[in-house]
Copies of this chain bind each other. A is one copy, B any other.
Amino acid sequence: VTDRRPPVGEFEWIARLVEILGGTAAPAGRPEIGDDVARIAGPDGTQWAWTVDTLVEDVHFRFDWLDPAPVGHRALTASLSDLAAGGAGPVGALVVLAGPPATIAERAEGIYRGIGDLARKSGCPILGGDLSRAAGPLHVTATALGRAPQGVLTRSGAEPGDAVWVTGRLGAPAAAIELLAADPAAGRAHAAYGRLAWPEARLDEIAWLRQRAPIHAVIDLSDGLSGDARHVAERSAVRLVLEADRVPIHPAALDAAGPDPARARAWALHGGEEFELLLCAPAGALAPLVEEFTARFDLPLTRIGTVAEGAGVAARGADGETPLEPRSWDHFG
């Protein structure tokens, strides 16, 4: 949350990871490094989705901004949201805490309570884990496993002509981070704070949609809309054209932005730390479902653009198309 810049050359390292480790997969089981989840086929053909995420103190969270329970909640949500992006329902999770004994003594119970409450609510039992002493910051790692009877969704299936949709309303987590950075007490008191502290993985929403319409590609917005739209464009070898003024902005972000709504729009476009989903589906497939979806989940489902041939991500405004560059790292750097 405080410093989301990648390690020097993170993307180069991920490329090396694929190069060094990619060859370890059997020819029939190409590794899906770069997707939200790894995909595994069971002996009966059932597809399983699997993910792991580590949150590091003072990189992904700060204890003066978040109490232990929301830290645990966010750690499990990160993995559950990956399962949602894979169109999978949770089967279980394992949790690792590693940090100084004093930190563990002070924070572990709250973190476990945050994890446990979400595990019960989302039907994702915690089946085990690990606990280790470590100097330095606390690391909270969750790995989650899910099943996708209809197959695992990826970032790579978007097709020219698809419509681009987004769940929920964006920008509140980034707003909360700016407010906290300026004044932790005021930040905690603002309406935007809840979206940062208690985010929701869209597991039920994606399951409901998949039963009613074809979905070609999905990603969760952990890196921010502009950055994650780029991941879909790259992996699907297409161009995403977003109508920036259709992107739904969370009212708490608008409130936090005060007299400058452009700040709220920037949070919504680039802010990240969201667990909303971006979906690509055939034109006309989701529109008939919007009313029932919104009523059922008390959540907007908004068409924000189209998929075209080409590459990259563009914002289409009154003055035509302009490239939409990710700003998420700069925003938090």
Given contacts A7-B132, A13-B108, contact A145 B52 (CB under 8 A): no
Given the interface contacts A21-B112, A136-B137, A143-B143, does A14 sit within 8 Å of B131 by beta carbon? yes
Docked Cα-Cα span, A314 to B147, in Å, equals 45
Binary CB contact string for chain A from 162 to 198 against chain B (1 if under 8 A, 0 otherwise): 0000000000000000000000000000000000000
**Cα distance, A59 to B135, chains bound together (Å):** 9
Picked from B8, B24, B115, B135, the residue with its CB within 8 Å of the CB of A126 is B24
- On whether the beta carbons of A16 and B108 are closer than 8 Å, the reply is yes
When distances are taken between beta carbons in the complex, the residues of chain B under 8 Å from A34 are 128
Which residues in B have their C-beta under 8 angstroms from that of A44?
Answer: 42-44, 46
Query: Is the contact region of chain A dominated by helix, strand, or loop, or is it mixed?
Result: mixed
A120 contacts partner chain B, Cβ-Cβ < 8 Å: yes
Task: Please give the number of chain A residues whose Cβ is less than 8 angstroms from any Cβ of chain B in the complex.
Answer: 81
A23-B58 Cα distance, complex, nearest whole Å: 30
Is A17 located at the chain interface by the 8 A CB criterion?
yes
Chain B residues, CB < 8 A from A3: 133
* Of B23, B24, B104, B135, the contact of A137 (CB 8 Å cutoff): B135
A108 contacts across to B, CB distance below 8 A: 13, 16
B38 pairs with A46, CB closer than 8 A: no
A309 proximal to B (CB < 8 A): no
| In the assembled complex, A269 has its CB within 8 A of some CB on chain B | no
Residue of B nearest to A24 (CB): B119
A29 within 8 A of B: yes
Most interface-central of A24, A25, A135 (chain B CB within 10 A): A24
* Beta-carbon contacts under 8 Å, A253-281 to B: none
**Do A133 and B56 have beta carbons less than 8 Å apart?**
yes
CA distance A3 to B32 in the complex (A): 36
Sampled A-B contacts (15; CB under 8 Å):
A5-B133, A7-B131, A7-B133, A9-B105, A10-B131, A20-B113, A21-B115, A21-B116, A25-B127, A33-B127, A33-B128, A37-B128, A40-B91, A56-B134, A136-B136
Q: List residues of chain B with CB within 8 A of the CB of A303.
A: none
Are A52 and B96 in contact, with the CB atoms below 8 A? Answer: yes
Residue A323 interfacial (CB < 8 Å): no
State A23–B100 Cα separation when bound (angstroms). 27
Bound: A109/B9 CA distance, A: 13
Bound Cα distance A87, B56 (Å): 33
The distance in angstroms between the C-alpha atoms of A59 and B132, with both chains bound, is 9
The answer for the CA separation of A129 and B119 in the assembled complex, in Å, is 22
Contact B131 A139, beta carbon cutoff 8 Å: no
B116 touches A31 (CB 8 A): no
Q: Is the CB–CB distance between B132 and A54 below 8 Å?
A: yes
Answer yes or no: A236 CB below 8 A from chain B CBs. Answer: no
CA distance A8 to B6 in the complex (A): 33
CB distance from A245 to the nearest CB of B (A): 34
Our pick among B25, B26, B46, B116 for the contact of A42 (Cβ within 8 Å) is B46
Contact between chains at B124 and A24 (CB < 8 Å): yes
Q: For the complex, is A101 an interface residue (Cβ under 8 Å from B)?
A: yes
- Interface 1/0 per residue, A79-120 and B, CB below 8 Å: 000000000000110111010111011001100110110011
